[in-house]
Structure 1
Amino acid sequence: MATHLITGAGSGIGAAVARRLHDRGDDLILLARDAGRARELAGLHPGARTLVADLADPDRISWAFSHQELPDRLDSLLHIAGIVDLGPIGELRPKTWHQQLNTNLIAPAELTRLLLPSLRAAQGHVVFVNSGAGLNARAEWGAYAASKHALKALADSLRAEEHPQGVRVTSVYPGRTASPMQAKVHSQEGRAYDPSRWIDPESVATAIVTAIDLPRDAEIEDLTVRPGR
């Protein structure tokens, strides 16, 4: 039975992946920002374990984990959590940059560092759920796109470093997906939000599960998922 640690399991793509893996009987470890959120996630996925650490404060993740039990072996680490805040470069303050870089880039790097021994022990898989913005940056997406372009670099470097250890690394680049994050984006863009126009989170979950289930003789390095409508 495989063990997966998932960030962002409370909604959208992360919730869809957690349901999929839970329903087939895999062991889940769900990362929560605080104890209250941990109880909520445990209620959604009975039998799942939780870890508490705030991705918005990556400097304290190591301290938080020092007070909790980490798995000895980990078959996959699924980085799905993320935040977005749009705005023109000329108006973005350092706080906006720090928030997105901390949650979207530095926290995944720190989580990966802390869990690499467990991933190496299982010859596991690290999946970074990136974004179409990690490949192309547009007006008013500068801070978010910068965090996601950097996340691609993190994934590519990690893959090269950990290949000898048998650890696989995949970046997934979803287009616009029907989720609370997408509703926020539409609000910031001043547009009406119609979730039926965008990718169902279950479709992205299928792509992620396909990547981690791929036989060991192959590796999906980069996977782009675009709206089909």
Structure 2
Amino acid sequence: MATHLITGAGSGIGAVLALRLLERGDDVVVLARDAGRAKQIVQDLPGASVVVADLSQPGRLSWALSKQNLPDRIDSLVHVAGVVDLGDVADLPASLWEQQLAVNLVAPAELTRLLLPVLRVSQGHVVFVNSGAGLRANAGWSAYAASKHGLRALADALRAEEAEHCVRVTSIFPGRTATPMQERVHHQEGADYDADRFMTPESVATTILTALDLPRDAQITDLSVRPGVH
């Protein structure tokens, strides 16, 4: 039985992944942004533990975690949480750049730093659920894509740095997935949302589980997954 800490488990990919891990008997710790969200997650994911910390304030993560009980062993840290606000460079204010960089890049870096001591002991696994935008930036996606390109760089550097501690690092690059975030993106794009056109969160969760369950003699470093052809 392994212990996993997951961000972004309140909905979408993270929620499905947490449920799948709980169903197979693993321990799951979920990070929630506030007490209200934590209460809802406990109801939705019976058996999961919750810690409260706001990823939009990376500089306060250390303080927040120090006030709560974390497991002595963590086998995987899975970064799923993210925010997106679209807009052309000419129109996007600094506040939206700062928010997306904080949640999508700086917070994963800081949370990883804080948990590395226990991950080293367990020879654990860090999984960054990135995005197709982490490989290519399209018009209107500058801030989000910049945060995801940075997340890829973070993963690559971390993998090289932690190899001596046998910590595995994986980047998953999902294409469009039928999640509440995708519905929000379509609203921002002014497009109709049809969930049937996209991958399900279950499919992406299966991809993450494949990386987590790979035997110790190998690791998936980078994996892109796209919607099937209909």
Q: TM-score, normalised by structure 1?
A: 0.99
**Cα distance between partner residues in 1 of 2:133 and 2:81:** 15
Q: Which runs of 5+ in 2 are unaligned?
A: none
After TM superposition, the runs of 4+ consecutive aligned structure 1 residues lying more than 3 A away are none
**Cα distance between partner residues in 1 of 2:58 and 2:185:** 24
Within-5 A mapping of 1:126-205: 126-205=126-205
| Deviations 1:133-191 (CA, angstroms, capped at 9, x unpaired) | 00000000000000000000000000000011010000000000000000011011110
Q: Which amino acid aligns with 1:152?
A: R
Q: Which amino acid aligns with 2:26?
A: D
Q: Which amino acid aligns with 1:36?
A: G
Specify the SS of the correspondent of 2:87. Answer: coil
1:84, CA displacement in angstroms? 0.4
- Corresponding position of 1:86: 86
**Cα distance between partner residues in 2 of 1:180 and 1:44:** 16
Q: TM-score, normalised by structure 2?
A: 0.98
1:217, CA displacement in angstroms? 0.3
CA contact (8 A) 1:71 1:118 kept: no
Q: Which runs of 5+ in 1 are unaligned?
A: none
Specify the SS of the correspondent of 1:90. Answer: coil
- Corresponding position of 1:119: 119
CA contact (8 A) 1:72 1:121 kept: no
1:15, CA displacement in angstroms? 0.7
Matched, 1:227 2:227: yes
Identity of matched residues, %: 67
Within-5 A mapping of 1:38-57: 38-57=38-57
Superposed CA RMSD: 0.6
**Cα distance between partner residues in 1 of 2:162 and 2:72:** 18
- Corresponding position of 1:71: 71
Q: Which moved more, 1:39-48 or 1:202-211?
A: 39-48
**Cα distance between partner residues in 2 of 1:6 and 1:118:** 15
1:62, CA displacement in angstroms? 0.7
**Cα distance between partner residues in 1 of 2:193 and 2:37:** 27
